[in-house]
Structure 1
Amino acid sequence: MRTPILLAFLALAAPAHAACNSPPAPGVDWRRCLMDGQDLAGADLTGAVMRDASLSRTNLEKAKLAGVDALNARFGFADLSGADLEGARLTRADLTRARLQGARLRRADLRRARLFAADLTGADLTAARIDGADLLNATLDGARWTDGKRICAAGSVGGCR
């Protein structure tokens, strides 16, 4: 008699996982989903789980991605211009050639992220963690650096000058 009750309790206690075809919404679980080439401009994905997801060539212009968990996610060639990524977990994320102009990356975790040739012109990196991040050929003109004070000079490529 106790087994059915226990199973019912465990079923109610288990976290619900959204399918990859779930519409964009705050907290959506797109873990390991292939979302390449989608138009998600302006979408509110606050707190979404995107671990190991692929969003290559996706339009996320002005999207709300604050607090997302995008560990190992792929954003290669994605447009994240003006996106809010405050507090986002982008550890080991691939942002190769991503457009991040004017993106808000305050307190984002970019440790070991690949930002090769990404465009971070005018981005806000205040308090972002960038240990081990690959910034080779990344454009940082006018970006606010991790100390929250320094603005990168015109011609800053691969580092803030």
Structure 2
Amino acid sequence: MKLKLLATLTLLAPLVFSSPVKAENPLHVQRLLSTGRCFQCNLSEADLRGAHLIGADLREADLQGANLEAANLEGADLRGANLAGANLTSAFVTNADMKEANLNGVNFTEAKIYDANVYGASMNDLNISDAEIYNTGIGIGGEDADFPDWY
């Protein structure tokens, strides 16, 4: 009886004491924060709250489910990036290039999105509650939006 109990506890202990697996690559997070360059990085589920990512190169980066709450993405290059399900609540997204990015399910609540390029981006199920959006093709019926000449 004791042997069975010991065997069961041995098998279950790793499940009980294991921590959740982080999806992001810690080296990629460190590279982004120190250099501002992270082309094709794995930053999914990364905690980047309040990060200063001004002019960051995040082309084709995986930011799926990342927390970018209150992050400054002014002038960031997010072309082809996957931001599906990311939290950009109160983020500053001015002059960012999100051309052909996956923005499905992004939370832009109270974000400031000015002069951003979203040409060809996928934008299903966006939350844009109380967001300030100017000169950017995000909104209800966004396909008919006027794009500036630089697109």
Structure 1 length as normaliser, TM-score?
0.69
User: 2:41 aligned to 29, 40, 43, which one?
Assistant: 43
1:35 Cα deviation (Å)? 2.9
Provide the residue aligned with 2:118 in structure 1: 120
Please identify the structure whose Cα radius of gyration is greater: 2
Provide the residue aligned with 2:146 in structure 1: 155
Q: Is the 1:40–1:60 contact (alpha carbons within 8 Å) kept by the matching residues of 2?
A: yes
* Cα 1:129/1:36, change in 2 over 3 Å: farther
Provide the residue aligned with 1:101 in structure 2: 99
Q: Is the 2:135–2:147 contact (alpha carbons within 8 Å) kept by the matching residues of 1?
A: no
Q: Is the 1:90–1:108 contact (alpha carbons within 8 Å) kept by the matching residues of 2?
A: yes
Runs of 4+ in 1 over 2 A off after TM superposition: 34-37, 153-157
Provide the residue aligned with 1:78 in structure 2: 76
1:45 Cα deviation (Å)? 0.5
Q: 1:84-129 CA distances to partner (integer Å, 9 max, x unpaired)?
A: 0000000000111000001111111001111111111111110010
State the secondary structure of the residue aligned to 2:116: coil
Provide the residue aligned with 2:65 in structure 1: 67
1:131 Cα deviation (Å)? 1.0
1:39 Cα deviation (Å)? 1.6
Provide the identity percentage.
28
Q: Distance in 1 between matches of 2:34 and 2:53?
A: 4
State the secondary structure of the residue aligned to 2:144: coil
Q: Is the 1:37–1:56 contact (alpha carbons within 8 Å) kept by the matching residues of 2?
A: no
Q: 1:1-57 CA distances to partner (integer Å, 9 max, x unpaired)?
A: xxxxxxxxxxxx9x9xxxxxx521xxx5x7xxx837622111010100001111110
Please report the RMSD computed on the Cα atoms of aligned residues, expressed in angstroms.
Answer: 2.4
Q: Which has the higher helix share?
A: 2
Provide the residue aligned with 1:7 in structure 2: none
* Cα 1:36/1:131, change in 2 over 3 Å: farther
Structure 2 length as normaliser, TM-score?
0.73
Q: Distance in 2 between matches of 1:56 and 1:156?
A: 23
Which ranges of structure 1 fall in alignment gaps of 5 or more residues? 1-12, 16-21
State the secondary structure of the residue aligned to 1:72: coil
Q: Distance in 1 between matches of 2:67 and 2:34?
A: 17
